[in-house]
Every structure is written in C-alpha cells, then in structure tokens.
C-alpha cells in the first residue's frame, strides 16, 4: 500500500474584513460545515470546504485529471473554456470570486470543468458588471468547487509529479478517511485519451455568425471547426470583417466545401489530438486544396498530425496567461495565454512536409507555432484571442484575414488570366 500523504487547509494570514457572523448566508454556513476531500492517484490527499454545487460531491463524487492554471484573473473564462472539459482546475492565485460573474465574460454556453479548486473563496463580490456570485454561478450549472485547499502545495506537487487523476468527495466532519477506497477510486479515473471529450463540447449543427465590421462589398467566409472553440475566437474574426460559419468537428469534406469557405480555422479544444482521427484526415484534404488554414491549440496539434508529425503529452501541461513565446522569424517575444496538455514533437515533423517551427516556448523550448513555406497555412499552440490574458497576439487574426484576401485575389486572377488553363 502506497503511503498516504495528507495536506490539510492550514490557515494563512487573515486578510478578510472583520464582520459579525450573525448575517452569514446559507452558502457561507454550508461551506463552514461541508468537508471535502481530493484524493490523487499517487495517494496524496487534500482537504478543504465545498461550495458551489456541493451535492455533486456526494456519494461517488466527481472524477477527473487535476491541472493548475497560473492566470491571476479570469476565473469565469477558465470555467467556461471547453478545453478544461472533465478536469479539476486549480487556481494558483489565492483569492477567487472577488469580482463575481458577468454574463459578457462567458467563453462558452456553460462551464466545462469537473471541479474548481481554490485557496480562498470570496463570496462578497464587487463589480459593476457583476450579476451573481461565483458560487451561485457554479450551483446553477451543477459544478462543485472546493476552497481552503493549500493550492501552493498542490501546484508544486503537480509540477513535480505531473498531472494526476483524482476523485473529489464529501466526507462527514467526524468520519475517518477510507484512504484505500479513495486511492482505488482515483486510479480508476479515465484519462482524457480514453474519453471522447471533443464530441461532448462541439456544436451539433451549423450556425452562422455575421461580421461586426465590413472591409469590402462582400464579407469573406471562414468556416470555424468547433472542437471546443472559445467565443472570443469568433469575435476576433467577425471584428475583422469575416463572416463565420461554425460547424461540428465531424463535418464531412463535401459538407464543408458546400459552404464555399474562403478560409478554415481549427479551434482549440480538450483531449488527446491523436483521438480526433476524422479531423486529421479532413485537414489533410484541406491542405491538398491549398485553402487558407489557421489552427489554434488543439487545431495546431491537428495540423501537425495532418502534416505527418507526432504529438506527446507534457508532464503538467501549459495552463495560464503568462507564458513567454518567441517568434523565431522575427525574434519578437510575446506573453501568451495557454491551455493544453499535449505538444507537437519537433523532431517528428517531416522535412518534406514544407512545415517549419515558427514559434517556441521560452520556458521549456516546446513548439508553439508551425507555418508552411508555400501554402497559406499556419498554427499556434497558444491562444491569440486570450480571454483571459494579454492581447499581445491578436495580430495573428489580421494575418489570417490577409491570407484569405490574398488567396482570393490569386484565385480570381487565375480564373481571369487568358493564359491560365483549367486542366490539372
């Protein structure tokens, strides 16, 4: 039996405003009496207090892999990022909930994470756009959360030992932990490679999103393939005069081409890229047709796989909004938002594919971008739309729009040139 290491919620400095406890809300009272336990697959156990949809931690509780994000703000965007589907997310910034929830900050139709894990939950929020507390938002969407966890210790543990499968459950205040049962439950949790998480988050029907700005008489059309896209990706496209057609991840080539796209964008999303075999095959067909193509995060990995490269899992992934990346062509360094567990293996990129590494992570040297020497194709591992995070990389959407306009001009010139031939 592996040794069980238990981490309790040791109190830190009290920075809260002193106030009478006679006016405690139901949520506060519940948190003070609801004990929650997180058990990792290596036998490490953390204890805290449940809030949000606490009933979801009853009985068998919630399961998932545990990852940490270094974002200091943007907990709502983190919760509604489909790339976190089925994962327990640790917020490394200690105070969470202080500005509440604003409907305009949702990045998807619902929160996708399994459990939100924080050091200190602030129930009383202050924000002129705020409409409800984080706890109320999570309850409404049946998502549990756990506070008073030593998130610093948990983050260091994940950094040293890698992403861990885990189970989170409610435990009676005076109950002794059944560590053997918790360990067995954690080790039975499926990894993201074993789950069809992309199908869970993708839209099931085609949807049109009109451009918010017009840059010509006719708006160019971008087909956005949804493997878990964030709303701000579509917003960054429409703000540049591009019409967006959102389509399911399993769309056929014929159905996609019937939409007559001027360009295609492969979105971010959860899971192991090698499991999305239908999209890898579709991407190869799109490459052969020389369509302008952009990939973000999971979409970047899909492009890498379609080009003949391989992918592998990182020890603890990249999650946060402070990751430095260098453009190897210009030497420019930007701060990026990231949320991924897998990477494209640089050594596996076939030289004959025409692809080269365009961006690199300064912290660990991993591939952060691919570009093609001849085709109008590029991809980035990070999130140029941010949300949350810095806006350093929004110009990539301008580059994509220019690729589309340039490709359209070339296509038009080729169709009107008397010397051009329609024969292959």
Number of Cβ within a 10 Å radius of residue 121:
25
Residue in 47, 319, 385, 407 annotated catalytic: 385
Residue in 236, 297, 323, 359 annotated catalytic: 297
300 tagged catalytic: no
Q: Is the dihedral of CA 177, 180, 181, 186 positive or negative?
A: positive
Q: Is the dihedral of CA 148, 102, 53, 72 positive or negative?
A: negative
CA separation for the pair 11, 8 (Å, rounded):
9
Outline where 128-262 has alpha helix (H).
134-140, 151-161, 179-187, 197-201, 231-238, 253-258
Residue in 157, 323, 372, 383 annotated catalytic: 383
Q: Which helix (H) or strand (E) holds 247?
A: strand 242-248
79 tagged catalytic: no
Q: Torsion angle, CA of 186/189/192/194, rounded to 10 degrees?
A: 150
Count Cβ neighbours within 10 Å for each residue of 298-316 and write b for 16 or more, e otherwise: bbbbbbbbbbebebebeeb
319 tagged catalytic: no
Outline where 298-358 has alpha helix (H).
298-306
Q: Is 136 helix (H, G, I), strand (E, B) or coil?
A: helix
Which residue numbers are catalytic?
Answer: 297, 383, 385
């Amino acid at each position: 039996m592996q040794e069980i290491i238990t981490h309790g919620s040791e109190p830190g400095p009290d920075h809260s405003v002193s106030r009478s406890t006679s006016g405690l809300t139901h949520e506060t009272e519940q948190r003070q009496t609801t004990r929650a336990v997180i058990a990792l697959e290596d036998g490490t156990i953390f204890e805290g207090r449940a809030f949000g949809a606490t009933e979801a931690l009853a009985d068998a509780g919630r399961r998932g892999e545990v990852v940490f994000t270094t974002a200091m703000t943007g907990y709502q965007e983190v919760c509604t990022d489909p790339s976190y589907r089925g994962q327990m997310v640790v917020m490394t910034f200690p105070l969470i909930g202080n500005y509440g929830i604003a409907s305009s900050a949702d990045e998807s139709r619902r929160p996708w994470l399994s459990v939100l894990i924080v050091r200190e939950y602030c129930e009383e929020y202050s924000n002129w756009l705020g409409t409800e507390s984080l706890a109320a938002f999570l309850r409404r969407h049946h998502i549990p959360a756990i506070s008073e966890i030593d998130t610093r210790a948990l983050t260091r543990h994940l950094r040293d030992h890698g992403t861990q499968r885990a189970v989170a459950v409610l435990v009676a205040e005076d109950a002794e932990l059944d560590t053997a049962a918790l360990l067995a439950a954690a080790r039975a949790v499926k990894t993201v490679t074993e789950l069809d998480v992309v199908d869970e988050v993708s839209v099931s029907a085609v949807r049109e999103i009109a451009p918010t700005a017009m840059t010509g008489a006719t708006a160019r059309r971008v087909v956005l393939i949804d493997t878990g896209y964030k709303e701000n990706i579509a917003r960054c496209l429409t703000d540049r005069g591009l019409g967006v057609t959102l389509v399911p991840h399993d769309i056929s080539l014929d159905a996609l081409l019937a939409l007559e796209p001027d360009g295609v964008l492969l979105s971010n999303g959860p899971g192991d890229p090698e499991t999305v075999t239908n999209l890898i095959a579709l991407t190869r067909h799109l490459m052969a047709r020389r369509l302008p193509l952009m990939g973000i995060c999971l979409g970047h990995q899909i492009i890498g796989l379609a080009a003949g490269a391989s992918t592998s899992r990182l020890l603890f992934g990249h999650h946060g909004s402070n990751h430095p990346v260098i453009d190897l062509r210009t030497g420019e360094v930007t701060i990026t938002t990231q949320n991924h567990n897998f990477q494209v293996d640089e050594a596996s990129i076939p030289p004959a594919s025409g692809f080269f590494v365009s961006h690199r992570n300064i912290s660990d040297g991993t591939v952060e971008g691919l570009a093609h020497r001849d085709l109008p194709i590029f991809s980035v591992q990070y999130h140029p739309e941010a949300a949350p995070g810095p806006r350093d990389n929004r110009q990539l959407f301008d580059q994509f729009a220019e690729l589309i306009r340039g490709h359209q001009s070339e296509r038009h010139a080729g169709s009107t040139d008397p010397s051009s031939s329609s024969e292959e």
